[in-house]
Structure 1
């Protein structure tokens, strides 16, 4: 590991930690905070994995840039939601769909030979989409818990 890679890893971890603190501080319950944690962890792993080895081919493969689309959808969705649980749930579900679409868009553009590597990309990508969906479900649960508590008051 070179010094620049070590510094980049430190910056990624610092940004992820600060991002979690920013988002989780808006939540009133554990489901919201866990949803934020899953979303930040998925973001960190997605960026780190793409920088280190790349998910589609090597880290130099331009198809890996498509994964930025998932991060952009999540980021813009969170801003539009103003970090409110219901909106965050929708943003994470949209991010899951975007994540799931990435390898199919890449296959449409670059038309790779279908082999075991393509299958592994699809499996890995589905796992990431599952993390985004889990985060969305946790935010959804947080929203329903918060609304039921508000009805009791």
Structure 2
């Protein structure tokens, strides 16, 4: 047995991984339990599948970030970005950020996520590129808020855009700090 495989740091890392994936599994059980007690919650098998895929996507993203670097700033930046993306998808699929989930304006929120995914792939997850990518996302998100206001759609879209812009900026700042630490 390799002595480094049982180091305290590796054991801590394993404990965090187990806790994270267990928390995701517990989150998946929340609606199942709620369905037993209230008629307000009615999920289909498809709903559970989509939610499970969303949780797995966030978990995989966090795993990737953890393997990319041990830098805490980088990991926090990735966590903020992944949580924000999760909230966008969840809110849009559940009730829609702007009106109903099928409202065309909700596509703009997915457009911001698509640009972020493309930027992450092109930048290969490197901290400097991720910082720039998240700045672009924050700018696009602010633009979405302006479009929502100009079209007089609703205040929820504006509020969501402001909050998401701030979260994308926070993530960009953390990635920038991680890039400076790596340099």
What's the TM-score once normalised by structure 2's chain length? 0.72
Query: Residues 36-47 of structure 1: matches in 2 within 5 Å?
Result: 36-47=78-89
Question: How far 1:28 sits from its partner (Å)?
Answer: 3.3
Q: SS of the residue aligned with 1:60?
A: coil
Does the 8 Å CA contact 1:78/1:88 hold for their aligned counterparts? yes
Does the 8 Å CA contact 2:148/2:157 hold for their aligned counterparts? no
One of 19, 30, 48 as aligned partner of 1:6: 48
- Gapped regions of structure 1 (runs ≥ 5): 148-153
* Partner residue in 1 for 2:182: 146
Q: SS of the residue aligned with 1:97?
A: helix
Query: Residues 99-138 of structure 1: matches in 2 within 5 Å?
Result: 99-106=141-148, 108=150, 111-112=151-152, 118-138=154-174
* Partner residue in 2 for 1:151: none
* Partner residue in 1 for 2:139: 97
Q: Distance in 2 between matches of 1:102 and 1:31?
A: 28
Give the number of the structure whose alpha-carbon radius of gyration is greater: 2
Does the 8 Å CA contact 1:38/1:135 hold for their aligned counterparts? yes
Q: SS of the residue aligned with 1:25?
A: helix
Q: SS of the residue aligned with 2:171?
A: helix
Question: How far 1:106 sits from its partner (Å)?
Answer: 4.4
Q: Distance in 2 between matches of 1:136 and 1:9?
A: 27
CA displacement 1:81-128 (0-9 Å, x = unmatched): 2211111100011011111211323455xx336xxxx23321221101
- Greater shift after overlay, 83-92 or 120-129? 120-129
One of 83, 91, 96 as aligned partner of 2:125: 83
Q: How many residues align?
A: 141
Query: Residues 52-67 of structure 1: matches in 2 within 5 Å?
Result: 52-67=94-109
Q: Distance in 2 between matches of 1:125 and 1:26?
A: 29
Does the 8 Å CA contact 1:86/1:143 hold for their aligned counterparts? yes
What's the TM-score once normalised by structure 1's chain length? 0.85
